[in-house]
Chain A
């Protein structure tokens, strides 16, 4: 039964049926084969998203919307420009630095990439090539879910259960995000020098740095309050999302004054829409998960994997390889819904630390947003640059490799990457 369901899912995907409905169709076939009453479809889909932690998704989407409309992005970019604009590949470094700044206040990749693209696509394509600029924006968007706050981590924790805490996960993302950002900067500098791209950005001036950074300072309040509040225990991660919305609104209304009350309805609608297309995938994927569960797939898979290897690190590499492939074809949130309940218990059998496993799992799946054929960030970058996926895949590849390398580093050096999270306690 599981096999038929899986085949139907892949067939439906290849024929261009949207992912959510491909899941639904496969699940429905499974329900039919298992002779279940028809109520199961609506019940399964509704309950799958009837979950408080998932509310973090609309919250961080809305916070992102409000920060874009409130001109917060421009503050970050101007500050970054005074700091790193005059290096080799200047505007590229500005993009990375702004990407980090944005990632520290936003929880999702798509919103970040869209915001960066709206302001930086033009200067990037003037200095570099258009495909390189689009690729860089897509790659920087990926910092959003790696650096806290992160909806991906909240979703993971909500599925994995009480054994794993969101603050630990959040702190676990900091080091990988910094390493990825630095490696990307190095790569950008090398490429810029090798391809002979011209220097850009204003010369470094202390007065400019002081002025722009002071102006951007209040924005720093958002990550301090939101991430600090979550890790310090003032509120839960989901509630932190709501606080982020309130702060983004306050900054846009009273500090930059670029946000108008009349912007709110459309921001809320946009946040609702971008949320809905993600959560409907979660809802539909749960139908397939249900079929796999009643077919005892987790047990069968667990036995299969344990017959392959006894070594925890080999197991992690196996999972890593599988997730790279899954990430190519599947929206990451759907992959959490389907695979965390299966693999987290197996990881426990191997004695892999829950947090260690979660970090490897999340980092690898996030890279999937950059890989074709289903790469959400590729789609966003194409939308911004007007290019086709085929045009930018080549330029995205090195960034993909950088991010995958960091995931492998996490597999082999848990003691390094689990050092910071222990301070969550």
Chain B
């Protein structure tokens, strides 16, 4: 069969590249299946692509973990502010027992996770002033994703939160509907947000975003054990490749943003600690919706690999 993998990322994104090279090559040389990667939301919007994989309309989907909120709400803990110090720490947690727990949740919703990939640390841009301490955010209108953890964090930091559709965000930033937004370097650079008045960039890394590569359990169950094994191995290899590419790209994108003339603020350890302390109440708040046990189990898992 032709295994369709759907995504909202573009062709050049590390995930699209790793899957259309490493994953496709491995699957096509070890099984009779072919692989087609459909980037740029060609097959639908994110929520829809997830449903498509659940129902077996398409084989797989690779999108930000944020979109799996309806299926696996527990993923929300990985969005907690200032929780990971480095990408290696994040990978260790996701590849360990905590990640296995999440994978079981996905299975119950008809999805098999073939890999947790990196979307990246999210960083803050704005048009008003350099952000060095939490107080600098006071009164700034920041565009956020429709994610309760994100919103709670920025409200805690004193910003006004704006929820505007991504399709309207560039124009709205350009026209000053809001002052700033937050995204990984790759997004900021790809969409040239510096052309939308975003003069100031802080390497806040306030959230670490995960990209989930999940496939249809329904379709997997229909394949032979050998094919299943080959597909899982292909997923593992592609995930490793993607993480490598993503790390390289992150640096490249940051360099490009500096070259574009953005004023980049690099936080010192003390400055970062001030943000971490200021957002601690969010851990409490999120515990109330996702369960305090879930949150503390996660925090322990993170500290265990420190």
Contact = CB atoms under 8 A, between A and B. Distances in A.
* Chain A in direct contact with chain B (Cβ < 8 angstroms): yes
A232 B55 CA distance: 44
Interface string A30-47: 000000110110011001
Interface stretch (A77-85, A111-119, A234-242, A330-338): A234-242
B177 A43 contact: no
A293 interface: yes
Contacts of B56: 37
Interface stretch (A132-140, A156-164, A312-320): A156-164
B284 interface: no
A231 interface: yes
A165 B171 contact: yes
Chain B interface extent, by class: 20 to 34
A231 B175 contact: yes
Contact of B57 (A37, A158, A167): A37
Contacts of A236: 164-165, 168, 171-172, 177
Contacts of A161: 167
A162 B174 contact: no
A53 B176 contact: no
A contact face: mostly helix, strand, loop, or mixed? helix
Contacts of B177: 233-236
A53 B52 CA distance: 23
B69 interface: no
Contact of A162 (B43, B57, B166): B166
A167 B171 contact: yes
Contacts of B47: 47
Contacts of B57: 36-37, 39-40, 43
A233 B175 contact: yes
Interface in B1-57: 4, 36, 38, 42-45, 47-48, 51-52, 55-57
Contact of B45 (A50, A232, A293): A50
A385 to B, nearest CB: 40
Contact of B42 (A36, A47, A232, A293): A293
A162 B4 CA distance: 25
Contacts of A43: 48, 51-52, 55, 57
A73 B171 CA distance: 32
A120 to B, nearest CB: 36
B170 interface: yes
Nearest to B57: A40
B47 to A, nearest CB: 7
Contact of A40 (B52, B170, B171, B191): B52
A36 B38 CA distance: 17
B64 interface: no
Residue of A166, A236, A237, A296 with most partner-chain B CB within 10 A? A236
Closest 6 CB pairs of A and B: A233-B175, A165-B171, A47-B48, A233-B176, A39-B55, A162-B170
Interface of B: 4, 36, 38, 42-45, 47-48, 51-52, 55-57, 164-172, 174-177, 191
Interface of A: 36-37, 39-40, 43-44, 47, 50-53, 157-158, 161-163, 165-167, 231-238, 290, 293-294, 296, 298, 341, 424-425
